[in-house]
Amino acid sequence: MNRSGQPETLTRVKTRNYFQTSGEALENEEATNRYAMFILGAASFFAGFWATACLISAMLQNGPLSIIEQLAAAITGASN
């Protein structure tokens, strides 16, 4: 009860937690995302290029048939 003797009315308000950002913050985030995607794309490109170079080198040294035989032996667990 309040001071006047009447029961108090309780009110519940449901609120949501959120962040409010300015337009400048969103532009900076977009630039950061673009930079991160560029770095990840470049790293993936160089890893693929290196793997292709290694595969070509192995085929030139041992021959394509030998590479396929060794791959099959590695997968099945058979020894040469």
pLDDT at 17: 66
Q: What is the DSSP letter of 8?
A: P
Q: Which position has the token pair 């170079």?
A: 53
**Cβ distance 38 to 30 under 8 Å?**
no
User: Which has more confidence, 62 or 28?
Assistant: 62
pTM of the shown model:
0.53
Structure token pair of residue 68: 């396929």
CB atoms within 10 A of CB 67: 14
Q: What is the pLDDT of residues 3-56, one digit of tens each?
A: 676 666 655 555 566 665 555 666 677 788 889 999 999 999 999 999 999 999
Q: What is the DSSP letter of 10?
A: P
What is the Cα–Cα distance from 62 to 56, expressed in whole angstroms? 10
